[in-house]
Homo-oligomer: A and B are copies of this chain.
Amino acid sequence: MVLDVFNQTEGKPLLIQPKSRLVMIGDSITDCGRAKPIGEGRGEALGKGYVSLVDALLGTVYPGHEIRVTNMGTGGNTVRNLKERWQTDVIDLKPDWLSIMIGINDVWRQYDLPTYSEKHVRIEEYESTLRELVGQTQPLVKGLVLMTPFYIEPNRDDAMRAAMDRYGQVVKKLAEETGAVFIDTQKAFDDVLPHYYPATLAWDRVHPNMTGHMVLARAFLSGVGFGWNG
C-alpha cells in the first residue's frame, strides 16, 4: 500500500477506524514538547508540532471518529533509542495504528559531530533495527504508517541531503515489504522548497516552523485517506 499521497480522491473513507488509538513515535520533530511520560491529555500534551495538527485536523473534519492520538516522540532519538523504549512506549500502549518517523539524528550526528563516532547509526544498523521493530509490531496493530526522515535542503548533491535520501529509501523498501502506508516527507518538502528559503521552513533545516509542520501533517493525512470536506 505505497500511496501517491497527493492524488487521493476526496470522498474515500479515512483509513483509521473510529475509536482507534493512534500512537505516533519519532524524534524531536515528533516530540515538540509533548507531555511526559505519555504524550496525551489536555493543553499542549501533544506538543506543538505535526502531531497536534494531525489531531486538530482529524478532530475538526472527523469529530465523530473520536480518534485518540498519543505522541511518543522523544528529542534526539535515533532508531537505536526507539528500540530501547519500544516495549513501554509502543507495545504497552496497545495502539490500533502506529506511525514511525525516525532517522534524522541517525544521519545528522555523522555530520554535526563527525568525531563522535559512538553516536553514529550507520545505514545497516538503521535498516536492521527498523525492520526488527516493524516486524515485531505489525501483527499487533490494525495499521502502520512509515514516514521517511527528511532534510530541508534543496541541493540534492549536499552530502547530508544525499545520505538522508538513502535512509529514506530504506523506509520505502520496508513499506513495500510490509504493505505499510508510506509517507515520503522529503518529497512533501521538495514540492514546496522552490518557493522558500530553506531556513524559513526550519531554522536549522531540520526543526520546522508551523508551515513546515503543516507540510508534514498534510503528507501524513493525505496518506491515510483524509479529505478536507470529510
Contacts and interface: CB of A to CB of B under 8 A. Distances in A.
A89 interface: no
Q: How many copies of this chain are found per oligomer?
A: 8
Given A115-B66, A195-B66, A197-B111, A210 B160 contact: no
Contacts of A176: none
A128 interface: no
Contacts of A41: 113
B42 A195 contact: no
Nearest to A40: B116
Given A155-B158, A229-B6, A199 B204 contact: yes
Interface of A: 6, 8, 10, 19, 21, 40-43, 46, 52-53, 55-57, 59-61, 63-64, 66-68, 111-116, 155, 157-158, 160, 192, 194-197, 199-200, 203-205, 209-211, 213-215, 218, 222, 226-229
